[in-house]
Structure 1
Amino acid sequence: MSAPTTHRSAEEIGRTLAGPRPLPPLGATREVPLPEVVTETLPSGLRVLAVHRPGVPMVEMRLRVPFAAPGSVADPAFTARAELLSSAMLTGTATHDRVGIDDELAGVGAELGVAVDPERLLVHGSGLAEGLPTVLDVLADVLTGATYPEPELLRERERLVERISVARAQPRTVAREALQRKRFGDHPIALEMPSGEAVAAVDPGEVRALHAEGVMPRGSTLVLVGELDPAEAIAAVGKVLGGWTGAAQARELGPPPVTAAGPLELVHRPGSVQSQLRLTAPALRRDEEGYAAYQLANLVFGGYFSSRWMENVREDKGYTYGAHSGTEFVPGGAVLGVETDVASDVTAAALLETRYELGRMVAVPPTADEIEAARRYAVGSLLISLDSQGGLASTLAALDAAGLSIDWLRERPVRLEAVTPEQVAEAALEYFAPERFTGVVVGDAEVIGPRLRALGGVE
């Protein structure tokens, strides 16, 4: 007979007579396991990216149509028309009303949505893989035959005015609008949300005209990711969307001006009990040399929960629930954003600590341990973001708009592993020096103004 075995707990297994068993070091992630992307440009000028990503019997879709305002100056009327177009695009076609569109999609477990910003119109959705032909049929019907029925359009206009009114009462919206103006002046990218008055003045005919002149396949990109055969999917797109044509090129947004360093702007919000701190400076594009080192420097400063800035203003001082720094990519460039919300009575103190941490990035460069923790986070978060079909589809659409392929993703871990502490120190010195920044502080100027002015660098 064999000797009876005794059950050991996980804690017992993890220990030896000498103490806890040491964990083995994490190995380097050399490559992101990603599928191949099949790409084809159709005769209409529409670029199609199809990816076989099994796992769940679904397909994710992202259609990006460049949709910039004409000219180099923000146009409030255009922004209002574009916002209403995106809200009403799925309300009816020559063959289906709103309910008919919803029923067609629901029958194959699918949904579609439309969003717009100063750069592009985005039609996004997902559905059962076997229902992809139906989704493409609905998409083609909307792209080529959206009628924007007047009763529906007027209802959407009323709802949109109400939503804008609610949004403009939020302090984060006020801070975002002030920051964009500070960054980019009167460039179209600065106007992300129209006024309610501008939307209320939009005529239905203007929306239909904007669709006819602006929703163009040439220069647009359609991404499909899921349980599909890429070649068959592209052939289906070519057949179903063959009627979506147009001689004009979809209008790309021109590069905004480079954000200039300078004093912070104090934006008065009477009666506010909180302040919004928003600092910003020029940053690096994904494809620029040194981006990996810059990314790690940003993580050490404020890019994740264990960052220096978060440890200071949340864990140590208790000034805020959250503080974050990150990169926004704009045509031709990028900007670094540093943001947190704090109580009015600690606004000046929080700004002082923020400037201190920026200066510490220059004077006390990130240590090897800080860099390694940031590196592991960067690689791990990348893998998590690409684990789903939707995450991969959105990332591919964003990269393609920036002129990058899936190979950029595959090589990310290698580039991050190759970064040295010296390179991170150089990035910190170049991109996090306090004098490079400008920004806004939104709050009750009568309460926070005296201390901010005494602190200096705020006007």
Structure 2
Amino acid sequence: MLNRTIAPEFGSIDNIKLIEPGHTVLPNGCRVYWFNSGDQELVRMEWIFGNLRFDANKPLLNMAANTMITEGTSTLTSSQIADRIDYYGAFLQAEYGYDQSNVTLYSLTRHLGNTLPVILDILTDSQFPEKELETFIRNQQQKLQVSLQKNDVLARRAFNKVVYGHSIYGQSGEAADYQQLQREDLLAHFKQMYQPSNCTLIIAGKVDEATLQQITGAFDSWTNTGKAANTTQSAIEPLNERFYFTEKPEALQSAIRMGLPMVNRTHPDFPALQVLNTVLGGYFGSRLMTNIREDKGYTYGIGSGISSLKHAGAFFIATEVGADVCRNAVAEIEKEINLLKTELITEEELSLVRNYMLGSLLGSLENVFSHADKFKIIHFAGLNYDYYTRYTNIIKSVTAEDLLQLANRYWDFESFYKVIVGKY
């Protein structure tokens, strides 16, 4: 009989196998990658475009163009686009990211003949109608007004600004920025950005040869505009001031966000830094959670992370604590940082973190879409599948001494950017 008083033993994860894609480049310059797996006649297609160079005078163009790309063409209104996609049981969404923006379609393969022409129409003939633009501006300003009442939103916006400076990563839309949006600017932006030479198409699902030919063939008429998309970005220049405090006299909670610029995924230290970060605040059993939530009761949740962007990276710690214990929470965060710089992590804790990280990676590969997502991470960072081999090997082999040295190399609490909104 199973003895439930004894915890099960950890099982080691020796090898994580990822599905690698097929690849081709279409005559129009569009790069196509496909992952063929699964029994159901379903495919996910992602048309991914590099964002144009950030213009501080028109900071919302990348976001607005991608958000509004499904709002109407010369022949279809936004409601007609939605109705046609819904009728065939498909799902369409447009998502904006700092580095890339994408249009994603989930569709049954038997309905591709009806759904793909809608996508072609969107990618070649979006019109950004004035009525929809006015509605978009009004709705976004209302959402912004509500968001700016939240301390954690204010802290996140301020932290991004100080760490990433006046770049595409540091910009946060203001009400006046939405008023600057003009249909003519959106059309010009769309024409330069949404062209095949600036597109990577990633297909995942049951993708046999006939399906692949149908998808790529549907875009034979898609041509470039002649003006290449400028997707370069200016250098990141963090701001000089290290401490930012926004007082909210009536606040019951204070939002804390702190950290500093950090290497991104392309740096050799990144995998080991992820281990160090996980120990500090990267999972529910982390030191920050154990101390500040479980022991002190200052917060419901606290965590840390390393953001990896194409042109930058940052280490951050984020939480909301009771306004009366804000200073104490900051002191405890500093204490946990310094402990990792002065004391070796025990083998028991390190083993737990290793198993958590490898298990999370393995558990995230639940279907073919997950494998495509893992590919996107390395592809747009300019890496190959060797990255995941090195990543898992470092997780398995990194020592407590290695992590102590990394903590001293990268973490200087006095140099952290510290943003607090509420009481301090």
TM-score scaled to structure 2, two decimals? 0.91
Equivalent-residue separation in structure 2 for 1:405 and 1:48 (angstroms): 16
Task: Please list, as runs of the form range in 1=range in 2, the aligned pairs for 1:77-92 lying within 5 A after superposition.
Answer: 77-79=58-60, 81-92=61-72
Q: Retained in 2: the 8 A contact 1:259–1:281?
A: no
Task: Please list, as runs of the form range in 1=range in 2, the aligned pairs for 1:69-218 lying within 5 A after superposition.
Answer: 69-70=53-54, 74-75=56-57, 77-79=58-60, 81-191=61-171, 193-218=172-197
Aligned partner (choices 407, 414, 417) of residue 435 of structure 1: 414
Change (3 A) 1:384 1:23: closer
Equivalent-residue separation in structure 1 for 2:402 and 2:113 (angstroms): 50
SS in 2 for 1:34: coil
Q: Does 1:47 align with 2:35?
A: no
Q: Retained in 2: the 8 A contact 1:320–1:340?
A: yes
Residues 18-42 of structure 1, C-alpha deviations (whole Å, 9 max, x = no match): x967744412x23223223112222
Equivalent-residue separation in structure 2 for 1:414 and 1:181 (angstroms): 35
Equivalent position of 2:375 in the other structure: 396
Shift of 1:142: 0.3
Q: Retained in 2: the 8 A contact 1:261–1:438?
A: no
Equivalent-residue separation in structure 2 for 1:294 and 1:377 (angstroms): 15
Q: Retained in 1: the 8 A contact 2:53–2:233?
A: no
| Letter paired with 2:2 | G
Q: Retained in 2: the 8 A contact 1:184–1:256?
A: no
Q: Percent identity?
A: 25
Q: Retained in 1: the 8 A contact 2:341–2:407?
A: yes
Measured on the aligned residues, the alpha-carbon RMSD in Å equals 2.5
Equivalent-residue separation in structure 2 for 1:95 and 1:293 (angstroms): 52
Q: Retained in 2: the 8 A contact 1:136–1:237?
A: yes
Shift of 1:221: 1.4
Q: Does 1:219 align with 2:207?
A: no
Equivalent-residue separation in structure 2 for 1:56 and 1:172 (angstroms): 42
Equivalent-residue separation in structure 2 for 1:258 and 1:297 (angstroms): 26
Task: Please list, as runs of the form range in 1=range in 2, the aligned pairs for 1:222-241 lying within 5 A after superposition.
Answer: 222-229=201-208, 231-241=209-219
Aligned partner (choices 33, 44, 51) of residue 67 of structure 1: 51
Equivalent position of 1:14 in the other structure: 2
Larger radius of gyration: 1
SS in 1 for 2:92: strand
Q: Retained in 2: the 8 A contact 1:62–1:394?
A: no
* Aligned positions, number: 423
Equivalent-residue separation in structure 2 for 1:426 and 1:125 (angstroms): 46
Equivalent-residue separation in structure 2 for 1:323 and 1:397 (angstroms): 28
Equivalent position of 2:318 in the other structure: 339
Change (3 A) 1:315 1:180: same
Q: Which runs of 5+ in 1 are unaligned?
A: 1-12, 449-459
Shift of 1:400: 1.4
Change (3 A) 1:194 1:167: same
Task: Please list, as runs of the form range in 1=range in 2, the aligned pairs for 1:352-363 lying within 5 A after superposition.
Answer: 352-363=331-342
Q: Retained in 1: the 8 A contact 2:45–2:203?
A: yes
Runs in 1 of length 4+ with deviation above 6 angstroms?
19-22
Aligned partner (choices 251, 258, 262) of residue 279 of structure 1: 258
SS in 2 for 1:242: coil
Task: Please list, as runs of the form range in 1=range in 2, the aligned pairs for 1:281-320 lying within 5 A after superposition.
Answer: 281-320=260-299
Equivalent-residue separation in structure 1 for 2:113 and 2:14 (angstroms): 38
Q: Which runs of 5+ in 2 are unaligned?
A: none
Equivalent-residue separation in structure 1 for 2:218 and 2:112 (angstroms): 11
Equivalent-residue separation in structure 1 for 2:98 and 2:302 (angstroms): 26
Shift of 1:64: 1.9
Residues 382-408 of structure 1, C-alpha deviations (whole Å, 9 max, x = no match): 122221344333332232111123453
Shift of 1:335: 1.0
SS in 2 for 1:178: helix
Equivalent position of 1:245 in the other structure: 223
SS in 1 for 2:207: coil
Q: Retained in 2: the 8 A contact 1:182–1:439?
A: no
